[in-house]
Amino acid sequence: MANLRPCYLQISNSLCTEPWYAGKGFRFYHGSWKTASNRKKVSQPIESRVGWCGSCIVKCCSTSSPTSAAEATEQVFLDDSKVDEKEERFEYLASESGWKVRRLAENRDEMSEVAQIQAEAFHTPVALFDDVFFEFFKAEVLSGLLYKLRNSPPDRYACLVAEPAAERKLVGIVDVTALRDEDVLQHLEGADEYLYISGIAVSNNFRRRKIGTVLLKACDTLSHLWGFECLALRAYEDDMGARKLYTNAGYRVVSSDPQWMTWIGRKRRVLMIKRSNMLD
């Protein structure tokens, strides 16, 4: 796949946090992990509580250059006729204002919808051949999503999706990842790790309808199920709409990017943290 990585921090039209594929790339922990001292164990297995689906039925695209953007997206999937898909079972993490939030179903259609919504939110338009660049960007987003789903333990990463209460139509996305970044932990006294909220994106036709609020509440529920006390996210410093949304959800600003970032054409971000009260 073509390695197209425009500066995602230049985006100004999205009501969302920095996506997982921004800046230096995504980070998460592979394989087994040990329970941190600040996390409380839950008695019921995570898989049965949040309805996580088992093995992924897709594969990442090859490194060879595709002949078209459509083929780049298409080649990440296995032949559906050769795979026995597990029955999907959904349990909603939040339900409010006519919207419900659950974990992403690991099937072809839903993952394509997620890639479409996040690509629309984070793609930076270009002067020439914008449609072609958009399709390549969407394929890269999809490839990254597949990689994380295949390589992350079910209680270290989750892609949450929002849909109307009365129909199956994805309208909002958020990524939740367990991290141990020291730059964040220094603001979380007593914590060994935290949940990082990123890539919040709402479909263009459904913005300003409280979908972001419900997505954040689902993140709180997930932190309770996984036994995490602390959550963190980043927002653009001048995006007052997003910052108001996060402040209303209980997040507070603890630091910001250095001023020199504006000298290289990047927008400054603020780090916002929250301690969940759901474990009390």
251 and 223 Cβ atoms separated by less than 8 Å: no
Q: Catalytic positions, please? A: 246
Q: What residues contact 109, with CB distance under 8 A and at least 6 apart?
A: none
**Percentages of the chain per state (helix, strand, coil), in multiples of 5:** 35, 20, 50
What is the C-alpha to C-alpha distance for residues 34 and 179, in angstroms, rounded to an integer? Answer: 13
Beta strands in 127-251 (DSSP E): 157-164, 172-179, 194-202, 230-236
DSSP lists the bridge partners of residue 173 as 161, 201
What is the C-alpha to C-alpha distance for residues 145 and 159, in angstroms, rounded to an integer? Answer: 8
249 and 214 Cβ atoms separated by less than 8 Å: no
The amino acid at residue 119 is A
